[in-house]
Amino acid sequence: MRHIESIERLIKAFAGLPGIGEKTAARLAVFILNAKKEYAEELAGAIAGVKEAVRLCRVCAGFSNSDVCPLCADGSRDASTVCVVGDYRDMVAIEASGSYRGAYHILHGLIVPLRGRGPEEIKIKELVERAKTNGIREVILGMPFNAEGETTALYIKKVLEPFGIRLTRIATGVPAGSLIEYMDPRTLGRALEGRKEA
Amino acid sequence: MRHIESIERLIKAFAGLPGIGEKTAARLAVFILNAKKEYAEELAGAIAGVKEAVRLCRVCAGFSNSDVCPLCADGSRDASTVCVVGDYRDMVAIEASGSYRGAYHILHGLIVPLRGRGPEEIKIKELVERAKTNGIREVILGMPFNAEGETTALYIKKVLEPFGIRLTRIATGVPAGSLIEYMDPRTLGRALEGRKEA
pLDDT digits (tens, 9 = 90+) for B10-26: 999 999 999 999 999 99
* B88·A30 Cβ contact <8 A: yes
pLDDT 10s digit of each residue in chain A, 198 long? 567 889 999 999 999 999 999 999 999 999 999 999 999 999 999 999 999 999 999 999 999 999 999 999 999 999 999 999 999 989 988 888 888 999 999 999 999 988 889 999 999 999 999 999 868 999 999 999 889 999 999 999 999 999 989 999 998 888 888 888 888 888 888 888 888 877
* B89·A7 Cβ contact <8 A: no
Q: Is the pLDDT of residue B48 over 70?
A: yes
pLDDT of residue B178: 86
Residue B1's Cβ-side half-sphere holds a number of Cα atoms within 13 Å equal to 25
Question: What gap in Å lies between CA A184 and CA A174, rounded to an integer?
Answer: 9
> Between B147-160 and B124-133, two packed helices, what is the crossing angle to 10 degrees?
30
By C-alpha distance, which of A67, A38, A18 is closest to B39?
A18
Percent of chain B scoring above 90 in pLDDT: 69
CB atoms within 10 A of CB B93: 14
DSSP characters over chain B: -PPPHHHHHHHHHHHTSTT--HHHHHHHHHHHHHS-HHHHHHHHHHHHHHHHH-EE-TTT--EESSSS-HHHH-TTSEEEEEEEESSHHHHHHHHHHT---EEEEE-SS--BGGGTB-GGGTTHHHHHHHHHHS---EEEE---SSHHHHHHHHHHHHHHGGGT-EEEE---SPPTT--GGGS-HHHHHHHHHT----
* B6·A65 Cβ contact <8 A: yes
Mean of the per-residue pLDDT values for chain B? 91
A173 and A190 in contact (C-beta within 8 Å)? yes
Q: How confident is the model at residue B181 (pLDDT cuts 50, 70, 90)?
A: confident
Residue from B6, B50, B72, B76 whose CB has the most chain A CBs within 10 Å, to mutate: B50
The β-bridge relationship of strands B63-64 and B55-56 is: antiparallel
- Report the gap between the CA of A3 and the closest CA in chain B (Å): 8
Q: How far is CA A16 from the centre of its chain?
A: 20
Could you give the ipTM of this predicted complex?
Answer: 0.79
Strand partners, A47: none
pLDDT of residue A134: 66
pLDDT of residue A140: 93
DSSP characters over B83-108: EEESSHHHHHHHHHHT---EEEEE-S
* B33·A19 Cβ contact <8 A: no
Question: What gap in Å lies between CA A68 and CA B1, rounded to an integer?
Answer: 16
* B window 85-104, beta carbon within 8 A of A: 87-89, 91-92, 95-96
* A4·B42 Cβ contact <8 A: no
Q: What is the mean pLDDT of residues B123-148?
A: 91
Set of chain B residues whose Cβ sits within 8 Å of the Cβ of A62: none
Say whether residue A168 is in contact with chain B using an 8 A CB cutoff. no
Terminal Cα-to-Cα distance of chain B (whole angstroms): 67
* B33·A63 Cβ contact <8 A: yes
By C-alpha distance, which of B88, B64, B71 is closest to B142?
B88
* A40·B49 Cβ contact <8 A: no
- Report the gap between the CA of A102 and the closest CA in chain B (Å): 13
Interface size A-B, in CB pairs within 8 Å, comes to: 158
Say whether residue A180 is in contact with chain B using an 8 A CB cutoff. no
- Total-model pTM: 0.78
Question: What gap in Å lies between CA A196 and CA B16, rounded to an integer?
Answer: 45
